[in-house]
Amino acid sequence: PRFRETAFSRGVARLDQLPADQGVEIAFAGRSNAGKSSALNGLCGRKALARVGRTPGRTQEINIFTLPPAEDWRLIDLPGYGYAKVSAKQREHWDRLLGGYLRHRRCLAGLVLIMDIRRPLTDLDWQMLEWTGANRRLHCVLTKADKISRQEAERQLHATHARLEEAGIEASLQTFSALKNQGVDDLRGLLAEWLEE
């Protein structure tokens, strides 16, 4: 995959606006402000592919990016969640959009769950894992690792792995820092495997 050539395609607010369920998609999910946009920008070696510090709480869309050289490889930026209390109607929209996508999308090769290393596995992160199910690949990116010591980061990595294992969830994990460009090569390597398998 030529991550640097990733290009924004469009945003969709409804599942029936998604492209045909063909090819290979890799989805990125995370709590608002976890660092998902920054991680996507780091992955693609770009400054402003995904918008950093987007006003949280706005009606959000699924943003679709194309990833060369394949015509039908896509990176899927799912709406951030959990920033503030949302109305029942917003929650319903979110459940339908994210839940529907994660449960039913056949071309979804795997989910990359972006979490702030200082507070991984929030309630809504678990909801994402439940929707994603056991039959999909899952990779957890613990970002903002520059905010804590290397020792503390290792401890969080192991603790998070243990919590997932305890819940019977199989996942790969890594630490990451968009600020320090740390973990970018590992993430690229893993996603290349997912795409090319």
- CA of residue 49 relative to chain centroid, distance: 15
Q: Which one, of 99, 134, 106, lies nearest residue 29 by Cα?
A: 99
Of 18, 29, 32, 113, the residue at the interface with ligand GDP (CB under 6 A) is 32
3-state secondary structure 43-68: HCCCCCCCCCCCCCCCCCCEEEEECC
The DSSP 8-state label assigned to residue 178 in this structure reads T
Per-residue contact flags (x/-) with ligand GDP for residues 121 to 160, judged by CB under 6 A: ----------------------xx-xx-------------
Of 8, 33, 107, 174, the residue at the interface with ligand GDP (CB under 6 A) is 33
Per-residue contact flags (x/-) with ligand GDP for residues 78 to 97, judged by CB under 6 A: --x-----------------
CA-based torsion, 24, 67, 191, 157: positive or negative: negative
Per-residue contact flags (x/-) with ligand GDP for residues 161 to 190, judged by CB under 6 A: ----------------xxx-----------
The alpha carbons of the chain give a radius of gyration, in whole angstroms, of 16
Please check whether residue 157 is in contact with residue 142, taking contact to mean a CB–CB distance below 8 angstroms: yes
**Residues in 50-69 that interact with ligand GDP by CB under 6 A:** 52-53
Nearest-approach distance from CB 150 to ligand GDP, in angstroms: 14
Binding site for ligand GDP (CB under 6 A): 30, 32-38, 52-53, 80, 143-144, 146-147, 177-179
